[in-house]
Structures are given as C-alpha cells and as structure tokens.
Amino acid sequence: MTDEEIQQTDTAKDSDIADELKDLGSNLKKAFQKTVNREKSKELQEKVGAAFDNFTNGVSKIADDAKSGDLEKSAEDGFRKILHNLNEKLKDYQNS
C-alpha cells in the first residue's frame, strides 16, 4: 500500500468517526428535547446510561491503546461501533 493510499484510508476512518460524533451530538439533542416533553425519562436514563457506560469503556480502551502505541484497526473499529450503537439506541428512543 502506498503512502497516498494509507493517507486516504486514514482520512476515511477519521471521516467515519467524525460523522458518528456529529450524529451523536444531533441524537443527544433530539433525545433530550423528547425527554423534556415526556414522562418516560426513567427509561431514557437507563438506555442512555447503559450506552454511555459502553461508550466510556470503549473510550478508555482506545485511550489505553493509544498510550501504549497499539491503537490498531480493531480499536478504531470498536470506537466506531460504540458510537454507532449509541446513535442507534438514541434513535430507537426517539421513535418510541
């Protein structure tokens, strides 16, 4: 793989993560707005709490890998998956 191909791959990965983070911000805002207008805030707290626990654990793992110099594709994929799952849970809540 050439340096240019590696750079393009890294840029695509960064873009995927950036897109997930943008979606996360948007979904958090929508979920908060819905919760304010809804009596089921306890349900949201439990769902989002569990999602944030997963998110926190994943971020900690990535931080540990980055510190040790082992930030590999699997860690990046894990972070992307955590963000995606968090966004999906928030979307499910919004649609309930």
Q: How far apart are CA 35 and CA 37, in angstroms?
A: 5
| pLDDT of the residue at 29 | 83
pLDDT tens sequence across 14-63: 667 878 888 888 888 888 777 776 666 677 777 777 877 877 777 777 77
Question: 65 CB contacts (<8 Å, ≥6 apart)?
Answer: 71, 72, 75
Of 87, 1, 5, 75, the closest CA to residue 51 belongs to: 87
Of 63, 53, 51, 56, the closest CA to residue 91 belongs to: 51
| pLDDT of the residue at 77 | 77
Q: Assess whether pLDDT exceeds 70 at residue 93.
A: yes
- Which residue type occupies 61? K
| pLDDT of the residue at 11 | 61
